[in-house]
Structures are given as C-alpha cells and as structure tokens.
Structure 1
Amino acid sequence: MGTAADHDTHPPAPASHYNSDVGGNHRVEIPPPQPFITSLKNTLKETFFPDDPLRQFKNQPPAKKFVLGLQYLFPILEWGPRYTLQFFKSDLISGITIASLAIPQGISYARLANLPPILGLYSSFVPPLIYAVMGSSRDLAVGTVAVGSLLTAAMIGDVVDVNENPTLYLHLAFTATLFAGLFQACLGIFRLGFIVDFLSHATIVGFMGGAATVVCLQQLKGILGLDHFTHATDVISVMRSVFTQTHKWRWESAVLGLAFLFYLMIAKFFSKKKPKLFWISAMAPLTSVILGSVLVYLTHAEKHGVQVIGQLKKGINPLSIMNLNFDSRYLTTSIKTGIITGIIAMAEGIAVGRSFAMFKNYNIDGNKEMIAFGMMNIAGSCTSCYLTTGPFSRSAVNFNAGCKTAVSNIVMALAVMLTLLFLTPLFHYTPLVVLSSIIIAAMLGLIDYEAAIHLWHVDKFDFLVCMSAYVGVVFANIEIGLVMAIGLSILRVLLFVARPRTLVLGNLPDSTVYRNVDQYQNATNVPGILILEIDAPIYFANSSYLRERISRWIDDEEDRIKSTGETGLQYVILDMSAVGNIDTSGISMFEEVLKIIDRRGLKLGLANPGAEVMKKLNKSKFLETLGQEWVFLTVGEAVGACNYKLHTCNSKINSSNVSEKYSNNV
C-alpha cells in the first residue's frame, strides 16, 4: 500500500467521484482470509527468521543442501577453499600480535576472577580454535574479558569463599561456564537473539563504565601490595578495605605499579596518535610482563613485599568434565552466574564483531555467532577454561594488524599452546602489580564519558538509564546495576506502548499533504474536520488511554472553534498509517469512540488502516457498523470526501432556504 508519506501526496478525487460513493474511486481493500496455520507460520517466520537463513537452500538438490548445511554450521568450510598464502601471511602477523596481548591479559583476567592464573592461558587455547571453525567474523579475537571475570568472581564469591574452598570455587566456575555456553547455544539455535536487544546502547555504556570503575578499584589490592581485600565490588566496601589497612601499604609495590601503568598509558596514547604504530600498544602488556619479571628476578623484590605469580604448571589444558559440579546446593548459583555472564559476554562479542564487520563491508549472523560462542564455552568448560567471548581490545589489535580471516585465532591459539608447553616457568617472577597495571590500563578505555555526554545532549532518558547502570554497579553491585538499567529500559518501552502519541494534523499550503501542526507551523486546520494521527499499534495496554485522549482532542477542538467562531466540527478523521496491529481491546475502543462521536452528532472516518487492522475490523463487524464508505486510502481522500459532504449539505440547506423564501413571497 506504500508509506504514509506516499499516501498523503495523492490528490483527493474530484467532487463528482464522491457523488455516488463517498469513499471515492480508491477503496481500502480487506485482505483475503488466510488459514490460521499459514498466518501463524508467517508470524513466527517474521519473528524468528527475519533474515530468512533458509533461502539459500531453496531449489537445490539434496547433495548441495547437505554441503550448504555444513557450510552454515561451519563457515570455515565456505571460505577455507578460497584461502591463499597472502591471507596466511597477514593472519600469521595478526595472530602473533594478539598472542602477545592474550598471554598477559589472560593471566591478569584469571586473577581478577579469583581463578588460578594458568586458566587464563587455557582459555586462550581451546575456545579460539572452536570459534575459528564455527564463527562468522573475520576480525573477532577470542579470549577472556574483564567484565565477565569480575561477574564470575562477584557472583560465585557470594556463595563460596575462594580462600576457604578454592577447589569448589574452581569447579563452580567451570559449571557456570557450561551453563553460559548452553544458554548462548540455545538462543542461537532457537533464533532468540532478539533477547539481547533489551540491552540498549545506553545500558551497555553505563554498565561497562561502572564495571570498569569497579575493576580499577579492585586492582588497588595489587598496586598497594595488600594480602587481604574485600570480595565486595561496591566502591564503599573497596575504599573501606583500602583505608583500614594503610599500615600494610607497600611503597615498593605502589611505585612499580604506577611506573608500569604510566608506561602502558603512554604506549596507548602514542598508538592512538599514530594508528600505524598500533603494535606499540599491543606489545606493551607483554613487554611490561617481561621487564617486570626481569626486574624482580635481578633485585629479589619478592622478598621486599612485591608479590609474584609463582609456579605455573606446564602442559596444555587438562580435562575438567569430571569437575563440573551439579550439587543442588550450588546449582542455582551456577545457573544464574552462567546466564548473566553469558548474556553480557554474548552482547559484547556480537557488538564488537558487527562493529568491525561494518568497516570491511560484510555481514555476520548474530544467531550463528551465539551458537559459536555457546559451543566454545561448552568445550571450554570441559577443558579447564572459563567464560570467553570476543573482547574489544584484542579484536581491535587483530583488526589493526591486518587480519584476513579467523585463522588469526588459530595462530594465537598455537602460540599460547607453545607457551603452555615450554614457557610457563618464565612467568614465575612476574609481579602481580604489573598484572594490576595491565588491567587498569585496559579498563580505563571502557569508561566512555564522551558517549554519556552525547546521551545527555540527545536523549535525557537514555542518559538516566546509562547513569542508573553506572551508579548501581559502582555503589551497589553488578547485578543490581544491570537490573536497574534493564528495568528502566523496559519501562520506557512499556510507556511507549501504554502512552502512544496522538497528533493533530493540518494541511500544508498548496498541497494535499497533512502533517503535525506542532512540527509544521504553516500547517492549517481544515474547517469542520479534526484529523488525528495515532502513532502506535493499539493494544489492551493503551486502548483506554487512546479513548480518553481522542475524546479530549474533540473537546479541545470544539473549544477552539467556539473561541474563533469557525465552522462547527462535523467530522473526525483518524490517520491509521502507523497502526500496524490491533487487538480485541482496541476494537472495543473503536466501538466506544464511534458511540461517543455519534452522540456528539459527528461522523468518524478512518484513513489508511493496514491489512492486519482491516482484517480484524472486518471480522469484528465494526466495518459494518461504521460503513465501509467511511474508510479511506489517504487522509487527502478522506478530507475530500468530507468537504464534498459539507458542500452538498450546505447546498441543500441553501436550496431549502431559497424555496422557503419563494413560498413566503408567493
């Protein structure tokens, strides 16, 4: 039927066309009836398969369908045959570069999750291999992330003290990773990725900023060389833990930490100024680890209050499938931790992947990505890994290093494997304060104050959502901050549904276009006609409000007419262009509005109702009550018909007056 803008540009039919049919030549047709199964099938298809992933299988022989199915599940089978030596050269450089970042970050984030540091290396070996086979992004570099690590520590730490029972804590982390993977895979398989859409941009900005702030504050333990520290994540508990132990602060550790933090920030600043030298920032964490380890080894600083990692076990990932814990006492904690961390990790990974895909002008399948994330976390939980996704920092380095395909993840995984097999003893003297500096440097980039300022200028409610997430995370805990932000976002959606806009339309001079009189100051009211636009589908949640709002618009228009002495109100036209659907409560609302308008001696007209709306209005017999001649294709045709009626009525009145005057004269 076209857009509303297109409809309004059609000129109204001439008056003669309305002589026999008030609706003019253009009728709004009722769509042909569809079987319930067909209608349900179409609805489900639009909800869960908007991208129509099966279109490539149509009209293909069975053998081709089998090959296409394998390529859909394992994208490497699609691009692998076209892989070239030139691509490998680029991926080799990218893989080695991100490995230099993955090794120190992995160790750092594992400690942030209160897990053995070696798990950070394990998690950078198996999951990237799974993603390289099943992922659809060319640029995503897989690994652990700070926010997921912090969530794991906070949620499992509420139930199990890692110092008192480290084995149980470790097993619950594996179990939570399994549930995160199962949840992610199920969302992808059942095409439920739209659930992630409830994490709005404002929510993510505030949540990430709050989590980054909390992570930075937690690193004061390493910077100050403290042995005991609070497990709480709120800023008050952290500050209390810091300042009640002033007598235990180690100046040696603080000086070393601040020096390396300064070095990391300078490297990042220099790389931003000269993007071609991105490798300086990418290599900075590894060089910090090397320099810190050498310095501690030469000065024996571990004997003077500088804590070190200690012994790391050599060898690749041991199996952990037998360590999964399904004890009923902890099952709820594992499931809750898995779902929340899984959603956050999935949202971050998909957002990062789509961002870099736009730069290279290709598309990634969100549901396919969920399946890939799910499978790599399921496999990871069975091979001594914890939650992984596609972190922004590592993916940005991968992108800037010139990666061509997901083979860069394979190269990174092989580099980590060599480290696990031969180089882990070299990390014995790595100071923990250097790891804290690496985490702080990475987290400062997640506090996007410029985005928050932009939200303030553009949309105050989005800014409120952003700040509620930030304040909730920083001053309460991560779960409360996330729930507050999502709750406000959902509340906003519900308010849009429950309180849709209704607008008065006026005619733009020298045209048949009708627009909002508040937006277009030169739009004029049509004498005797009130034109209202309903700007949302009509459901039970807003039907009562719309009934009252339409009645109030009529009252306001009649008051305006009385004050200006214009032609009395005779017609009410409802522009239905934006009403995509209607339920039974909405139909009842229309019946009540029609009765209200009839009692006032007015006539109701509907302009441009959609197919679904027409079908339901017809089935409910409302069109019979209204009269289908009062349903118009455009607002212009509706106004033309009403003006013709007014003209005809006035002509009859004038003719009657002339006849009466003639009779009196006779």
Structure 2
Amino acid sequence: MGNTDFQCSHRVAVPPPRSFLLSIKSSLKETFFPDDPFRQFKNQPVARKLILGLQYFMPILEWAPRYTFEYFKADVVAGITIASLAVPQGISYANLASLPPIIGLYSSFVPPLIYAMLGSSRDLAIGTVAVPSLLISSMLGEVVNPHQNTKLYVQLVVTATFFAGVFQASLGFLRLGFIVDFLSHATIVGFMGGAATVVCLQQLKGILGLVHFTRGTDLVSVMKSILGQTHKIGHLKKGLNPPSLSELAFGSQYLSTAIKTGLITGLIALAEGIAVGRSFAMFKNYHIDGNKEMIAFGMMNIAGSCTSCYLTSGPFSRTAVNFNAGCRTAVSNIVMATAVMITLLFLTPLFHYTPLVVLSSIIISAMLGLIDYEAAIHLWKVDKFDFVICIGSYFGVVFGSVEIGLVIAIVISLLRVLLFVARPRTCVLGNIPNSINYRSVDQYPVAQSVPGILILQIEAPIYFANSNYLRERILRWINEEEDKLKSSLEIGLQYVVLRYEWTSTFAVCSIDTSGISMLEEVKKTLDRKGLKLVLANPGSEVMKKLDRSKFIEAIGDEWIYLTVAEAVGACNFMLHSCKTNSKTVDSEEADNNV
C-alpha cells in the first residue's frame, strides 16, 4: 500500500511544452508590456489602427473631441492661477540653477505646450523644479563658473537638458519604466528633504545679502546701509524663446559632465513628476501611463533644449495649485504657457526692480514643503529599514553632496533588494483548528503542528543567490524539529512538506538550476535520515523546470500536491497505514510464536 491509494481531487500538472520563441515572446511581453497596450489594435481596420496609434502617442487627440466649454472655463481659471506662480517661481529656480532669470520664463512656455499634447495626466502642471535646478548648479558648476563664463555654462545646461530628454524618452519607448521604481518612496523623501535643506541654507545669502556694512551706529547710517544694498533682478530681455539648437555643446571638453548631469537630473525629475502625477490621479480615480509620461517628459525636454529652456518636470507645489484651482484637463498648461508668452512679450520690464531677496523668499517657502518630517516619522513607525534609507539619503545630501546622497540612497535600496532575494523568509506552518488552513505558527499561535510532519513555507523564488541559504535553513528546521520531538518523546519526524507560496502576496513562482540542485541535495539528505520530501503548491514555471531536470521523476509525482491540506492528508494516510501494517506484522509474529 502506498500513497497512490490516497484519494485527492487533482494532481499538480506540468504545463504543456512551448517552443523557445513562444517562451521568449511571452517573457518579453510580461516584462515590457504588462498592460498589453496593443490589445486595442486587435481586429481593427488599418484606418482605425492609425487613429488609435496617434491617440496613443498624443492623448490630446483622444479627449479633445469630448472637450466642453465647462471644462474650458475651469482650465482657464486654473491656468491663470498657476501662471501667477510659474512666473516668479521660474525666475527663482533659474537663479537657483545659476542661470539667467529669463531662462526660467522660457522654460515655462514651450515644455507645457509639448506636455499638453503628449502627457496623460490631467492635473500635472509643468515647470522648472527645485532639486534638479540645484543638481545642475552643483554638478556643472564644478567644471565651469557660471558667473565668469556664462555662455559656456548655459550651453552645458542646454546640452544636459537635451540628454535628459533623450534618456527619459528612451525609457518610455523601450518600456523600461521599472528602472524609476528603484527610487523608492523612502529614498525620495530623504533626498528631497536633504536637497531642500541645502537650498534653504544657500538662500540665506540672498535673504541677508549684506556685503559692506556701515561702522556708524546711528539709525540713519544703519538704515541707509541696509536699504542701499538692495540687489535687483535687473534687465530681462523681451521676446519669445530664441532657438538654441546651435548652442548644444556636443564638441565641448565637458560633454561627459553634461551627459552625467542630464542622466541624473533626468531620472530625478522623472521620478518626481510621475510620483506627483500618480498621486493626484488617484484623487480623481483615473490612471496615468508611466511609459507615456516618460515619452512626454523626454520630448518636452528635447524640445526645450532646442528653445533655450532647461530641465522641466511636474513640481508638486505647482501641480497642487493647479489641482486645487479646479483644472479639468491639460489645457490648463496651455493657458499657463499663453500667460507666460504674454509676460515674455510685454511684461518683462516690470521685473527689473524686483529684489533678489524676493526670489530667495519664494524658493525657501517652496522648499519648506519638501521637508516632509511627518513621512519620516511614518517610515520609522512602519519600517525601520526604510527609515535608514531615508536618513542616509538626507545626511548624504546635507553633509556630502547631492550626488553622494543619491548614491547612498540607491546603494542602500539595492542592498535591501539583495537581502530580500538572498535571505528569503521561511516559516513553519501549522493547522488552524477546525479548518483545512495552514498558517505560520509564529503569526498564529493557535496553529497546531501535525505529528510526524514538518511543513515549511518558502516565500521567495529559489535562485542561485539564496539556494545555499535555503538549504541550510531547511536542514536547520529539520534538525530542530527532530531534537524537539526526541525530547518530548512524541512520534518521530517522517515527512517534510515544502510549500511554494506563489499567491499574489508573495509572487513566488520561479526556480533556476541552482535551486533545483539545492532541492536534490535536500532530498538526498532526507533520504539518508529516512525522511520523505513532499512538495505542495508549486507554480507552473517551477513544475516545468522540475520536470525537465528529472527531479519529479526522482521524487515521484505522487508526492506533489496542489495544497498543503492534501499533502498532509496523504502523509497522515501513510503514517496510519504504516501503523496498521506494523500491528498486523506484530500480531502474526505473536501467533507464530504461540
């Protein structure tokens, strides 16, 4: 009598074989096209496919036919509102990037128009951003002094913006948006907070701004010294954006620095813009396509680099104002760009006498909102490792540099990913009384172990990075269970059930050759101990590879079950059968002796 006599509803099936090309196609589709963007093109005539293709790359063509006058009124109000913020903020952030103030206004004109046609967010307000502005100033300022060689510095900034746009658009076209996911929420909180602190400290010079002070102590002398040193913005040239295609410094000796600056600032701007867009989309219950956003960001920055603009994204402050002003579509960006255009054509002389302290005040007021101490406290309460990432990023920026802070945050984040893979969680399962459910005995103290059976759950893919650890951990569980049973004089261990948790909670459904070798070693060790290895709930990918490696043949397909309950039932059936056979043999021997 064997466990084949045990009746179970279904057996675990090995998936039917597929050709290599079909497998590659399926893997690439799941990796790069999880949202299946080509689904809408199926069974459509050529003309319809052309229209759908244009709507995919230019979302404005999709919603423009449904645009109403009510939407237009709301967008005009929102657009004028954010324009009132965009003009002073653009000048301020250009000053932060060590650029001529007029470039900040240029950057609030062309990029919003491009995004309105290509972007998928209804609420995102496009403009210059504080942290990339600081990055540009710190990275390019190391090789070129922006005050002594302004022309070369502006050329490098425009070139960096071009490469940032190319990088962003490439991520979108190649469907590599998951790269941005490596900048976790904790990383962004710490990085933004550190950058905001540095910016606030830098702007104290603009706030205080006293270089030569009087030695007189009378009130008149002191007030004259203070009021007589007011620093002004100065002359702002009238007119729209001049072309800057010829300013791209592809032959400069500092090209590598411009490329590095473009890649880093492009990634930061992309992460911030997509995060802000998704946050506000959630409030209105609609979805934005991350890859479309990358293409839109990339194209608007490429266009901006050719029209005297520097890097733009979707800043939180401007988007929040746009959202609260009641915007309905991306037309609010067009209205804002129109208002900026009017400013460039007619109103720039009005800013000549604006004190620089006003710009510093605007920057500091915007930066204080980026120091999100409540989010840091929340990270501490929920996940200490995320808090370490946040603090590491913050102090790296404040006491080192923006680049050091970013590197520290990314390294710690990658270390955490490696730890999740290399040191996966395993646990012992027990039966919840009066049910067929098996859960962790640590999480559920009422869960009861099954006599003679050790049930282990693996909550990670089994790869070369964790196979040795899992082998050692499984054998340790077995040794500890055997020692515990010996000391308690209970029934000895007979079966070890390995459960592959591949539900949506853990998403474990894969194994490589190192993992298969690990299972073979575990099986050999159990065979020497007189124990039986049983598998429960293996995924299709796991079954396919176990079948090809002949491991199923070695273990026996009768020892692979759909659920832990069926596996435990089969093991209990065998334990009961062994006891019955043992009693029968003992009875026959007793009769023979008589």
Pairing of 1:504-583 with structure 2 (within 5 A): 504-578=428-502, 579-583=508-512
Amino acid at match of 2:140: I
- With over 3 angstroms needed to count, the CA separation of the structure-2 counterparts of 1:585 and 1:305, relative to structure 1, is same
2:535 aligned residue = 606
The residue number in structure 1 matching 2:18 is 34
**Partners of 1:358 and 1:533 in 2: CA distance:** 35
Residue in structure 2 matching 1:172, options 133, 151, 156: 156
Q: Is the 8 A contact 2:210 2:229 kept in 1?
A: no
Matched AA of 2:545: K
Structure 2 distance, partners of 1:302, 1:171, is 36
- Paired position in structure 2 for 1:115: 99
The aligned counterpart of 1:663 is 592
1:220-299 matches, cutoff 5 A? 220-225=204-209
Paired with 1:480 and 1:432, the residues of 2 have a C-alpha distance of 30
Task: State whether residues 196 and 371 of structure 2, in contact with CA within 8 Å, keep that contact through their aligned partners in structure 1.
Answer: yes
Letter in 1 for 2:478: I
What is the CA distance between 1:84 and its match in structure 2?
Answer: 1.4
1:225 and 1:659 mapped to 2: Cα distance? 105
Q: Which amino acid aligns with 2:536?
A: A
Deviations along 1:438-487, one digit per CA (max 9) or x if unpaired, are 10001001100000000000110000000000000000000110110111
Instruction: Select which of 328, 344, 350 maps to 1:420.
Output: 344
Where does 1:129-208 land on structure 2 (aligned, <5 Å)?
129-208=113-192
Residue correspondences, number = 585
Q: Distance in 2 between matches of 1:21 and 1:609?
A: 22
Letter in 2 for 1:484: I
| 1:291-340 residue CA offsets vs partner (Å, 9 max, x unmatched) | xxxxxxxx999971110011110000000110110135211101110010
Does the residue aligned with 1:541 lie in a helix, a strand or coil? coil
8 A contact 1:23–1:632 mirrored in 2 = no
Corresponding residue for 1:595?
Answer: 524
Contact 1:175 1:381 (C-alpha < 8 Å) held by counterparts: yes
Q: Give the structure 1 partner of residue 198 of structure 2.
A: 214
Please give the per-residue CA displacement for 1:327-381, whole angstroms capped at 9, x wherever unaligned. 3521110111001000110111111111111111111111001000000000000
Distance 2:66 2:112 in 1: 21
C-alpha distance in 1 between matches for 2:422 and 2:394: 28
**Following the alignment from structure 1 to structure 2, what is the Cα–Cα distance between the partners of residues 393 and 431?**
23
Q: CA deviation at 1:24?
A: 3.2
Quick check: 2:109–2:337 contact (8 Å CA) kept in 1?
A: yes
CA drift of 1:595 comes to: 0.3
The partner residue of 1:400 within 304, 321, 324 is 324
Distance of 1:503 and 1:58 partners within structure 2: 46
2:230 is the counterpart of 1:306: yes
How far, CA to CA, are the matches of 1:639 and 1:664 in structure 2? Answer: 37
Q: Distance in 1 between matches of 2:250 and 2:226?
A: 40
For residue 47 of structure 1, what is the aligned residue in structure 2? 31
Kindly provide the amino acid, as one letter, of the partner of residue 98 in structure 1.
I
TM-score normalised to the size of structure 1? 0.86
TM-superposed deviation, 1:246: 9.3
Q: Distance in 2 between matches of 1:169 and 1:226?
A: 27
Could you tell me whether the CA contact under 8 Å between 2:210 and 2:226 is conserved in 1? no
Pairwise CA distance, 1:247? 9.2
> How much has 1:163 moved relative to structure 2?
2.0
Q: Give the letter for the 1:43 counterpart.
A: S
1:23 positional shift: 6.9
Equivalent in the alignment of 2:56: 72
CA shift digits 1:131-164 (9 cap, x unpaired): 1111111111100011111010011011111122
Q: Counterpart of 2:579?
A: 650
Number of the residue aligned with 1:432: 356
Instruction: Report the aligned-residue RMSD.
Output: 1.9
Q: Does 1:481 align with 2:410?
A: no
Q: Is the 8 A contact 1:103 1:121 kept in 2?
A: yes
Shift of 1:88: 1.0
Q: Which has the higher contact order (CA 8 A, sep 6+)?
A: 1
Find the counterpart in structure 1 of residue 309 from structure 2.
385
1:34-85 deviation per Cα after TM superposition (whole angstroms, max 9, x unaligned): 1111111111111111111111111110000000111111111111111111
Q: Sort the Cα spacing of 1:247 and 1:629 in 2 relative to 1 into closer, same or farther, 3 A.
A: farther
Counterpart residue number, 1:630: 559
Partner of 2:420: 496
Q: Which amino acid aligns with 1:87?
A: Y
CA distance in 1, matches of 2:210, 2:181: 41
CA contact (8 A) 2:301 2:311 kept: yes
Equivalent position of 1:620 in the other structure: 549
Gaps of 5+ in 2: 503-507
Shift of 1:25: 4.1
Which consecutive residues of structure 1, in runs of 5 or more, have no partner in the other structure? 1-15, 228-244, 256-298
* Counterpart position of 2:383: 459
Q: Which amino acid in the other structure matches residue 432 of structure 2? A: L
Runs of 4+ with deviation above 6 angstroms: 245-248, 299-303
SS, match of residue 585 in structure 1: helix
**Corresponding residue SS for 2:454:** strand
Distance 1:562 1:377 in 2: 70
The answer as to whether partners of 2:112 and 2:334 remain within 8 angstroms in 1 is yes
Q: Structure 1 pair 662/203, CA: closer, same or farther in 2 (3 Å)?
A: same
Question: Match for residue 273 of structure 2?
Answer: 349
* Other structure's SS at 2:445 match: coil
Listed one character per residue, the Cα deviations across residues 240-286 of structure 1 (whole Å, up to 9, x for unaligned) are xxxxx9999xxx9xx9xxxxxxxxxxxxxxxxxxxxxxxxxxxxxxx
Do the aligned partners of 1:128 and 1:143 also contact (CA within 8 Å) in 2? yes
Q: Which amino acid aligns with 1:582?
A: I
* Distance change in 2, residues 1:246/1:347 (3 Å): farther
Q: Contact 1:608 / 1:634 at 8 angstroms: preserved in 2? A: yes
Over 3 Å counting, the alpha-carbon distance change for 1:599 and 1:385 in structure 2 is same
Name the CA distance, whole Å, in 1 between partners of 2:173 and 2:543. Answer: 35
Deviation at 1:633, TM superposition (A): 1.0
Residue type of the alignment partner of 1:535: E
Distance 1:341 1:88, change over 3 A: same
Q: 1:247 to 1:548 in 2, by over 3 A?
A: farther
